[in-house]
Structure 1
Amino acid sequence: MGLGDHHESEVLPGVLPIGRNSPQRPAHGLYAEQLSGTAFTAPRHQNRRSWLYRRTPSAAHAAFTPLSHPRLLTGPFASPPAPNRLRWDPLPLPTAPTDWLDGLVTWAGNGDPDSGQGVALHLYAANSSMNRAFFDADGELLLIPQAGTLNITTEFGPLTAPPGHIALIPRGVRFRIALDGPATGYVCENYGAPFTLPELGPLGSNGLASARDFIAPNAAAEPDAPTTLVQKFGGHLWQTRLPHTPFDVLGWHGNLCPHVYDLARFNAIGTVSFDHPDPSIFTVLTSPSDTPGTANADFVIFPPRWMVAEDTFRPPWFHRNVMSEYMGLIHGAYDAKEGGGFVPGGGSLHNRMSAHGPDAITHARASSADLKPVKLDNTLAFMVETRMPYRLTDQAARTPQPDYDAVWSGFR
């Protein structure tokens, strides 16, 4: 099952009505509710919505009240964008009990949810399970675990995302994250068009990420219990107390739902002759913009793969780009940064037209390598690139590694 496909799941036979969405009396005394991820009148191939059949309407709650979270922000981001190349160490693990929501730290972003464009990048470091529910009204969430498995309870059912997987939570979907131990990772909050699979163009009908490998949850309702519900709205957190659980859906159908994807199922494409292709061949998901061919955001990975090109500089070449690139490392080493400093859980930023590429050590090795076929293994890096410059938060601006520019010194 995949993004944009129609899914359905029910806990009990007969929960899902046949031939209609909102009958006068839904089965089992349930309530029918539609969750819309796009405007009602969006073109059919872009329209995202699902019907949920639940014990209690989502509307049954008291007013939300503000909840402080000083490290979680939303655009418009106030700081001016910086042209300098930057790199960061991983977040330290907390010493006090910290759930996934409290462990979020906003790192950079652009645009804002009111304009419907741009992204925010967050990191998380947590060591305890959530005992509350959360949803994001500002944007869609792409969760990228680096260490520790995320056990995600959603309105649509449970999902599990260990490192090497991603989880995609649509805007507005309520969820809760349980941990088996300490966990760190990254989050891309997408304010623009929902992520979808990129077009394959001349590649044809196969390659890159396959829709069938995106796993949707099976419906699973939990017993009722009073629950604190937190939402992110306008860049701030708000909370209310529910007399019931929000995870009470006994059946659902539609094409808007959470997914988990195993990045090891990505079918990497590369050259079998010469030259290094553009990194766009590694795009897993794209959020389109109003400019064809220029994404609001792309999620790109650099997975294990064979390198076979002849008379070619095999690592990524030096380049300057109209897109702005944030990179993270899930495990192993990135093949353009063999000189150290870019470590799992860390990150780097190259804003638009900032010159970057391999460090001096990598360049020297690749320029003199014996170009036999070789398997590039034990590596998994990713990139979130966007058409607008990233603007840093105070936390990110205070903590870059010193003298990152030095990795490009030492060339003859």
Structure 2
Amino acid sequence: MEKKSQHQSSSLIRKTDGEDFSDLNYESGFGNSFSSEAIDGALPRGQNSPLVCPFGLYAEQISGTSFTSPRKLNQRSWLYRIKPSATHEPFKPRVPAHGKLVSEFDKSNSYTTPTQLRWKPVDIPDSPTDFIDGLYTICGAGSSFLRHGYAIHMYTANKSMDNCAFCNADGDFLVVPQKGRLWIATECGKLEVSPGEIAVLPQGFRFAVSLPDGPSRGYIAEIFGTHFQLPDLGPIGANGLAAPRDFLVPTAWFEEGSRLGYTIVQKFGGELFTARQDFSPFNVVAWHD
């Protein structure tokens, strides 16, 4: 996960309360290889999955591509966490169902028109609405199951996500706030994203969104079967509009201890599923990619 920004602070994140975003530190570079540890020595040296990981941590790999992909295309991250992410109850369809997300676009659920269209920012809801419930699809093409295509969503929220995390199994999210800052806790660290910045949240990573300034709204681009890349420079020359160093990557941070009734909400095929667990998913003490 990355954000595009020109601002960066200086102190290393350690284990803190989940709502503390007062002291953030980032690495710089889009698509680079990084490593980070919240406790010195938590990252294994010289191997990815030793028989016994430092501090009794569990090694897990998240693959962003097939393992047979060429080196220049292969994407994966190794996470070293306090408790395995698979130790949760089975996923079940979310009740009540969301009903406002689409990941399969065909003639049965599509409307086309040659008329020019645009979408103005929506009104902030009166009832309590977090990032998940305030997310809805406005257009798209292709299919998440066929791993080809995209979807465009909008979101509006007036409350922080409480004791839950969201995971998108369909594709990568690119979040563009239009109003209100977002504090995004991820398995790799924390991001503060303001209007005028964007955040990329890769497929399969869990995250939670808090609202430090009150209500927020914005736009989300989602792509299926591939990952966001910087555009080629071409005729605009060597110093393009988006430089790799403008993108910031979080440093390791983690929560520990039991959390009764923690809920994982997973988007799969445009539908939402939930699973309960007794710990925070943000228990990754070290990671590398």
What is the match of residue 215 of structure 1?
248
Give the AA of the match of 1:55. Answer: I
Once the 2 structures are TM-superposed, how far is the Cα of residue 87 of structure 1 from its aligned partner?
A: 2.8
Counterpart residue number, 2:266? 231
Within-5 A mapping of 1:130-169: 130-131=161-162, 132-169=164-201
Q: Which amino acid aligns with 1:111?
A: G
3-state DSSP of counterpart to 1:125: strand
d(CA) in 1 for partners of 2:82 and 2:119? Answer: 46
Residue number in structure 2 paired with 1:279: none
Q: Which moved more, 1:151-160 or 1:196-205?
A: 196-205
Residue aligning to 1:19: 46
Structure 2 equivalent of residue 245 of structure 1: 280
| Cα offset, 1:71, TM superposition | 1.4
Give the Cα–Cα distance (whole angstroms) in 1 for the partners of residues 284 and 57 of structure 2.
Answer: 9
Q: Are 2:224 and 1:186 equivalent residues in the alignment?
A: no
Q: Secondary structure at the match of 1:231?
A: strand
Query: How many angstroms does 1:202 deviate by?
Result: 4.7
Contact 1:158–1:220 (Cα < 8 Å) also in 2: yes
Q: Secondary structure, in 3 states, of the residue corresponding to 1:252? A: strand
Residue type of the partner of 1:214? F
Q: In the alignment, which residue of structure 1 is the partner of 2:204? A: 172
Matches within 5 A, 1:394-409: none
C-alpha contact (below 8 Å) 1:119/1:192 kept by paired residues = no
Q: What's the Cα RMSD here?
A: 1.2
C-alpha deviation, 1:109, in angstroms? 0.7
Letter in 1 for 2:102: L
Q: Deviations over 1:341-386 (max 9, x none)?
A: xxxxxxxxxxxxxxxxxxxxxxxxxxxxxxxxxxxxxxxxxxxxxx
The SS at the match of 1:110 is: strand
Residue 130 of structure 1: CA displacement?
A: 0.2
Secondary structure of residue in 2 paired with 1:212: helix
Q: Which ranges of structure 1 fall in alignment gaps of 5 or more residues?
A: 255-412
Q: Residue 204 of structure 1: CA displacement?
A: 4.5
Kindly indicate whether the alpha-carbon contact (under 8 Å) linking 1:4 and 1:48 is maintained by their aligned counterparts in 2: no
Are positions 1:39 and 2:66 aligned together?
A: yes
Match of 2:55, SS state, is helix
Query: 1:233: Cα distance to partner?
Result: 0.5
Q: TM-score normalised to the size of structure 1?
A: 0.60
Question: Do structure 1's residue 58 and structure 2's residue 89 form an aligned pair?
Answer: no
* Aligned pair partner of 1:117 in 113, 125, 148: 148
Deviation string 1:205-261 (CA, Å, 9 cap, x unpaired) is 32221111211111110133131000001110000101111000000000xxxxxxx
What TM-score, normalized by structure 2, do the two folds share? 0.85
1:10 aligns with 2:37: yes
Kindly indicate whether residue 64 of structure 2 is the aligned counterpart of residue 69 of structure 1: no
Q: Distance in 2 between matches of 1:191 and 1:153?
A: 23
**Offset, 1:66:** 0.4
Structure with the larger RCO, 1 or 2 (CA within 8 Å, 6+ apart): 2
Question: Number of residue pairs matched?
Answer: 254
> Which aligned pairs between 1:368-383 and structure 2 lie closer than 5 A?
none
Say which SS state the counterpart of residue 148 (structure 2) adopts. Answer: coil
Larger radius of gyration: 1
The structure richer in helix per residue is 1
Taking the aligned partners of 2:118 and 2:241, their CA distance within structure 1 comes to 28
